[in-house]
């Protein structure tokens, strides 16, 4: 605790030894010498080094559940791509699994849950009063190992899915283009939906707090399926629960990324978070007008821009940064990096951000 006259600023011990804390300063709206940069889904998929670790194991879940290996692939993008932050290698689906709905990750298809939640009977199976520290210990262990191996080179980002997105997988049991079973539930049994969202929120709060205790320097909430709800439903079934989560996290900066929630941006900007993540369809200047200097914006280059040539990538990254009218930015893509992107193209994106001179 540092005392400045009568003000007390809580600086967690773990952030004091960081060699590069740019992303934390950006999130808090502090002085910056350049913009920080990282990529959603940077750990995995695009790197041959990831694929070789993955191939040495039985599958995705073994990687997620083996802390030493999860830590290893967490650090790969820092070593290879030179990003300004690591994100712990895990998945949003560990939460529904801990709540009693195990999943399988099927090769080339995606997640599959044998049990789903469609009625009150199914809800009985959904646990929410259990020891999160114990049941998800492999994630916290991976965070500790990753930080140790990073040795303070960059901050480590923790994360969780937003309750609405987690509900989508619990109800649907797999990925979907429409998530119509999940949306159907909001009309046919809103009480059940609220009870499920409430349970997910309670577990998510405990989970994120435990990630922070293990050493996560900031956390991000991914609401990947925010955009499939209209503004009124997103307020009731989405934002209400994100609000509970952000209001419970005090010690580290929080980022909210509600993909596709264009009609709710004004309400998202009112949340008690430090950073708002934008997808590539969202207009940075409009959001900046809405929030002034009160929040940091993260994003939002179209992930497909990385299919362009190296010079086109430089151009689009520079024009993105030229559009900023403030220092409060974390440069990222507007969604996760696609698996077939050439890592050399990702490096060009990162170098362009690092070489850009701030015009403020």
Nearer Cβ to ligand 1CP (21/172): 172
What's the CA gap between 85 and 355, in Å, rounded? 17
Using Cβ positions, the residue closest to ligand 1CP within the complex turns out to be 175
- Cβ proximity to ligand 1CP: between 25 and 41 the closer is 41
**Whether the Cβ atoms of residue 126 and residue 101 lie closer than 8 Å to each other:** yes
CB of 80 to ligand 1CP, least distance (A): 13
Smaller CB distance to ligand 1CP: residue 237 or 356?
237
Residue 338: in which H helix or E strand, if any? none
| Chain positions contacting ligand 1CP, by CB under 6 A | 40-45, 54, 60, 87, 89, 91-93, 105, 110-111, 159, 175, 222, 224, 336
What are the start-end ranges of the H helices in the chain? 13-16, 22-28, 48-55, 60-65, 67-81, 94-98, 120-124, 132-135, 137-150, 163-172, 180-188, 190-214, 231-233, 240-248, 265-268, 284-291, 310-322, 343-355
**Min separation Cβ 159 and ligand 1CP, Å:** 5
Q: Which is nearer to ligand 1CP, 76 or 274 (by Cβ)?
A: 76
Residue with tokens 């990630």: 211
Give me the active site residues, please: 41, 45, 54, 91, 169
What size, in residues, is the chain?
A: 360
- Residues forming beta bridges with residue 258, ordered by sequence position: 223
Cβ 47 to ligand 1CP shortest distance, Å: 10
Cβ at position 6, least distance to ligand 1CP in Å: 40
Residue 104 burial (C-beta neighbours within 10 Å; 0-12, 13-18, 19+): middle
In angstroms, what is the minimal distance from the CB of 327 to ligand 1CP? 25
Which one, 204 or 288, has the nearer CB to ligand 1CP?
204
Using alpha carbons only, give the angle 59, 63, 64 rounded to the nearest 5 degrees.
115
Q: How many Cβ atoms sit within 10 Å of the Cβ of residue 235?
A: 15
Q: Which is nearer to ligand 1CP, 36 or 44 (CB)?
A: 44
Task: Count Cβ atoms within 10 A of the Cβ of residue 66 and give its class: 0-12 exposed, 13-18 middle, 19 or more buried.
Answer: middle
Query: Nearest to residue 86, comparing CAs of 96, 71, 99, 100?
Result: 71
Encoding tokens for residue 18?
A: 């960081």
Question: Least CB distance from residue 82 to ligand 1CP, whole Å?
Answer: 15
**Angle between helices 343-355 and 310-322 in degrees, nearest 10:** 40
């Amino acid at each position: 605790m540092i005392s400045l006259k009568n003000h007390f600023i809580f600086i967690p011990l773990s952030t004091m030894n960081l060699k590069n804390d740019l992303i934390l300063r950006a999130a808090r709206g502090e002085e910056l010498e350049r913009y920080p940069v990282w990529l959603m889904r940077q750990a995995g998929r695009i790197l041959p080094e990831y694929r070789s670790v993955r191939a040495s194991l039985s599958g995705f879940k073994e990687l997620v559940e083996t802390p030493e290996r999860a830590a290893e692939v967490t650090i790969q993008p820092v070593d290879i791509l030179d990003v300004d932050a690591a994100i712990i290698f895990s998945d949003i689906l560990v939460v529904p699994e801990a709540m009693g709905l195990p999943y399988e990750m099927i090769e080339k298809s995606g997640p599959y849950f044998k049990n789903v939640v469609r009625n009150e009977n199914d809800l009985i199976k959904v646990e929410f009063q259990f020891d999160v520290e114990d049941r998800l210990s492999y994630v916290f262990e991976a965070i500790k190992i990753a930080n140790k191996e990073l040795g303070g080179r960059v901050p480590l980002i923790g994360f969780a899915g937003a309750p609405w997105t987690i509900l989508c997988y619990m109800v649907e049991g797999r990925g979907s283009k429409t998530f119509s079973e999940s949306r159907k539930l909001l009309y046919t049994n809103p009480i059940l939906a609220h009870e499920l969202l409430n349970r997910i929120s309670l577990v998510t709060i405990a989970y994120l707090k435990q990630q922070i205790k293990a050493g996560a320097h900031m956390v991000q909430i991914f609401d990947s399926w925010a955009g499939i709800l209209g503004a009124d439903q997103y307020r009731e079934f989405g934002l209400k629960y994100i609000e509970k989560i952000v209001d419970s996290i005090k010690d580290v900066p929080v980022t909210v990324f509600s993909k596709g929630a264009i009609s709710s941006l004004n309400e998202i900007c009112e949340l008690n978070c430090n950073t708002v993540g934008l997808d590539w369809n969202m207009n940075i200047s409009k959001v900046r007008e809405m929030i002034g200097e009160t929040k940091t914006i993260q994003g939002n280059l179209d992930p497909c821009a990385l299919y362009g040539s190296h010079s086109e990538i430089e151009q689009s990254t520079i024009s993105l940064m030229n559009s900023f009218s403030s220092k409060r930015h974390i440069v990222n893509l507007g969604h996760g990096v696609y698996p077939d992107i050439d890592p050399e193209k990702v490096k060009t994106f990162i170098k362009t951000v690092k070489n850009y001179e701030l015009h403020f």
